[in-house]
Amino acid sequence: VFKIEGQNSFKEHFASLCYPVFKECCKSVFKDSELAELQSRLLASMLITVIEQWLFAKDCLPPERFYEAVRTTVKQASLKICDTL
């Protein structure tokens, strides 16, 4: 599944699902729409990369721990970013 690139690939499908969510979040933080667009795509790409690395890891975390780790990291990073704006 991960070897397939381009249209209908996991990456494209997942990005199409999470990108709109990130875009809405970024629009409220970044008033510059061009910057919000870039940040949305960057966040979607980063999340896909992290998921792929987790799935390919030999001794990967259980799904619940992985979710909690990603959630905590994103939350802490978001708070830090908002504090500096």
**Residue 21 confidence (pLDDT):** 83
Taking the CA atoms of 76, 80, 23 and 53 in sequence, report the sign of the dihedral they define: negative
Task: Quickly count: other Cβ atoms within 10 Å of residue 22's Cβ.
Answer: 19
**Residue 63 confidence (pLDDT):** 94
Mean pLDDT per 10-residue segment, the chain (85 residues): 64 81 78 80 86 88 94 84 70
**pTM beyond 0.85:** no
CA 19 – CA 66 distance, rounded (Å): 20
Instruction: Report the candidate in 45, 11, 39 with the shortest Cα–Cα distance to residue 25.
Output: 39
**Residue 85 confidence (pLDDT):** 63
